[in-house]
Structure 1
């Protein structure tokens, strides 16, 4: 992608503060108070998880690559910033977002195939034909003001993998975290490079079976960021004690090597002059999301969505 993020419509029109995003959503709900009261929905994070799962299921049937799935998820978020969810059939919006994203990411899917697979996947929730999908596509493009180019964090991760000496396991974990961030509000709050740098940090410090669990991981990530913020420019951390260690266990050596890598990363952040406060916020949001994911109930979320879809006749043409 040749376009510059700093001059893009994504930065100028689709990056908000938390307060701005909350106000937009509050205004939407106030404009549809009767619908909101009649059809309560799960918390937004749980909705995002469900939408992500449905998008993934459709994408798998169509053989869509991850870049297009990420773009489709971003389109969903933008669309539902301007349109109240209960006014739409989310299954139609999901299918449309993926169809449009595949066009933009230069891996187009035939509209007949998308319609066919969506019908098969959601037979009880969506009556779909080509004209209906086409109409929803124009509606979505209009709501996004034809601002369809999406900059993703994947490029930053790829370009920094060798510079930061990330192992393949660490790079894969960072990639997984980037994929997960599309189930949060972060794509609407921070630039892609901040997301990628946060994912790398978490890949370096996250240890699922570590004593203390999430709290320990959160503390380790925050400590690394605070070190970067407090460190004087040009100062580098040094720790070569492993070369002089005698009788140290393999586990201790691995722990020390990991600590050295985190310290080097903190030095890199200091020299690059990135938004550390933004990374702290991203870290907290992602850790909070993973905790929230543990309480997710697919059955309840699906039932609440299907209830308003059927009650309002949105499953019919």
Structure 2
């Protein structure tokens, strides 16, 4: 967290939900014809699809999770400035991953990234210079502000402080990964995300049967948080300790609640996710507008 408060992330890339909505509305109005001609699925469903595609590209190259997370933030920032239907998402994702690997000090050869992108997207672009051009555009749209502060470091510190079990830590890590599928990286500080993930992991009590997260479980955790804020908290000692710590700390409880609500919405909509739907809708505008050339 040491440099987050002075970072470009905090100064230029942190918005309220209202500001984000206004930015997107302005872009939609400017691109009204395109938007009407090529309807797209909910932004969160597209984010899930993009994450699956990024993971497929990253796995054979052994790319670390943090570089994947940085790429996801780059893509979200870029599409806040540029209408998606004016781009080839396959190229944007490959370029974001390539750039993120450089920034996270695990660089990949451009040819390797291109090869994985072609394999993943079944795409026809095979020119390295395309990634070079797109990289320039990405950097330019982000005003060369490329350093991303992630919740993972805060989570590691909290894990030690609260002695999370291995299962709780795995669940918290998984929740942090999931938050990149929402607008939360553009709204809240990394430590708020880490605290939310840790709180949910302790309250949700991961079972041996796996770490699948359901909206209902998160909603119950939200109730616990609401009770805690109202001073009516009971429950396990661990939960109580956490809730007391939250109440005494300078952490914004409203922010933690907002993060939890955002995650509930994600897990609810995830149930209607269909890979093919996202793929087809993207392919439609990419092909029709000749963006895959």
TM-score of the superposed pair, with normalisation by structure 2 = 0.93
Deviation at 1:24, TM superposition (A): 0.6
Query: Separation in 1 of the partners of 2:43 and 2:185?
Result: 14
Aligned to 2:178: 180
- 1:57-77 per-residue CA deviation (whole Å, 9 max, x = no partner) reads 111122100010000000000
Aligned to 1:195: 193
Query: Separation in 1 of the partners of 2:189 and 2:124?
Result: 35
Computing the radius of gyration from Cα coordinates, the structure with the larger value is: 1
Query: Separation in 1 of the partners of 2:216 and 2:115?
Result: 46
Check whether the contact 1:207–1:217 (CA below 8 A) recurs between aligned residues.
Answer: no
Deviation at 1:312, TM superposition (A): 0.5
User: What is the number of residues matched between the two proteins?
Assistant: 287
Check whether the contact 2:118–2:126 (CA below 8 A) recurs between aligned residues.
Answer: yes
Aligned to 1:288: 265
In the alignment, structure 1 residue 150 sits paired with structure 2 residue 148: yes
Aligned to 1:67: 66
Check whether the contact 1:92–1:126 (CA below 8 A) recurs between aligned residues.
Answer: no
Select 1:264's aligned residue among 220, 233, 241. Answer: 241
SS at match of 2:278: helix
Aligned to 2:211: none
List gaps (5 residues or longer) in structure 1. Answer: 232-236, 240-255
Query: Separation in 2 of the partners of 1:64 and 1:70?
Result: 11
Check whether the contact 2:225–2:257 (CA below 8 A) recurs between aligned residues.
Answer: no
Structure 1 residues 67, 217: closer, same or farther in 2, change over 3 A?
closer
Check whether the contact 2:118–2:124 (CA below 8 A) recurs between aligned residues.
Answer: yes
SS at match of 2:113: helix
TM-score of the superposed pair, with normalisation by structure 1 = 0.86
Query: Separation in 1 of the partners of 2:41 and 2:217?
Result: 29
Deviation at 1:215, TM superposition (A): 3.8
